Amino acid sequence: PRDLRLDPSRSTLDQRRELLLRRLTVCGIPYAQEQGVTGAAGSEGLTTRWQVRWTPATAAMLTAAGARGVTPAQAAEGV
């Protein structure tokens, strides 16, 4: 697995990455799992942390999700 730390409030690239990871999760594609992040004094963190891993199941579920839409956004809406 690989850890990603994203800062969607400061980076438009990280905003797009986080949106894609969330859409994959909604579609049931086993690729990314959000990890807990806490800020100073237990407040909500400004960044998000994800653990990602490509597996054969990821590829199979991407193919299956393609039946619900051509793009990740369409597939997530079709769930």
pLDDT at residue 7 is higher than 90: yes
Q: What does the pLDDT read at residue 25? A: 94
Measured between alpha carbons, how far is 28 from 43 in angstroms, rounded to an integer? 29
Render pLDDT for 10-54 as a digit per residue (tens, 0 to 9): 999 999 999 999 999 999 999 999 998 766 666 666 899 999 999
Q: What does the pLDDT read at residue 51? A: 97
Stated pTM of the model: 0.84
1-17 burial string, b = 16+ CB within 10 Å, else e?
Answer: eeebebebeeeeebeeb
Selection from 50, 41, 43, 40 nearest residue 8 by Cα: 50
Burial class (CB in 10 A: 0-12, 13-18, 19+), 22: middle
